[in-house]
């Protein structure tokens, strides 16, 4: 079942989501929500979806970056973004820490800001401690695009959107990104 994705301006996107208990994680309701969020994310299509984006202020997000999503991206751009496939996973009650090192800037979009994109600086590498869909503790160490996805989704759980972190001069419609900036480096766009 596809869930409705709420858009910027809906108050739920600016709330701090509440943690889930072990009993809630095991419940049919949360297990069903995870399945519906997975289907909604894939249908959109997107690489991540946080519970607040479907109107639920819960510390729960799903992530998956399928190869088919980047088949039309040049190998050099994939390498620059350090983008590779990420298998489906659920993160619950995450705690994130940036791993000291580089900050990288790339365009980001969001299913809750449909039709727009901007350059967003993010930590290149992160460490996330969370629970999986079974309530089991997990540690994820990620870099590149996967780290960006994790940061973006965890921001949603804190009531933040990429527009809070973006380089404001680079905010644009996807139509104009495709028309003028597709294939350009973040530096070329930022310095224009």
Peptide bond into 45 cis (omega under 30): yes
- Give 41's contacts (C-beta < 8 A, 6+ positions apart): 47, 48, 49, 62, 64, 111
Instruction: Enumerate the H helices of the chain as residue ranges.
Output: 22-26, 28-43, 75-81, 144-157, 174-176, 186-190
Task: Let me know if 153 is a catalytic residue.
Answer: yes
Of 98, 141, 153, 188, which residue is the catalytic one?
153
Q: 69-72: which pairs have CB atoms within 8 A and are 24 or more residues apart? A: 69/45
Give the pair of three-digit tokens for residue 4. Answer: 């409705």
Give the pair of three-digit tokens for residue 64. Answer: 């998956």
Q: Give the active site residues.
A: 153
């Amino acid at each position: 079942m596809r869930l409705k994705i709420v858009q910027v301006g809906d108050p739920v996107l600016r709330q701090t989501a509440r943690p889930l208990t072990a009993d809630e994680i095991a419940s049919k309701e949360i297990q069903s929500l995870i399945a519906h969020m997975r289907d909604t994310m894939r249908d959109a299509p997107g690489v991540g979806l946080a519970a607040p984006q479907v109107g639920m202020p819960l510390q729960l997000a799903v992530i998956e970056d399928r190869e088919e999503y980047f088949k039309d991206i040049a190998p050099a751009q994939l390498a620059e973004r350090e983008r590779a496939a990420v298998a489906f996973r659920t993160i619950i009650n995450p705690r994130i820490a940036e791993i000291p090192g580089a900050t990288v800037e790339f365009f980001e979009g969001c299913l809750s800001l449909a039709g727009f994109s901007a350059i967003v600086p993010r930590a290149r590498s992160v460490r996330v401690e969370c629970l999986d869909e079974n309530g089991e503790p997990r540690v994820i160490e990620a870099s590149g695009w996967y780290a960006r996805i994790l940061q973006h989704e965890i921001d949603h759980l804190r009531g933040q959107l990429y527009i809070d972190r973006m380089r404001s001069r680079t905010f644009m419609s996807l139509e104009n990104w495709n028309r003028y900036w597709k294939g350009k480096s973040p530096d070329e766009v930022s310095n224009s």
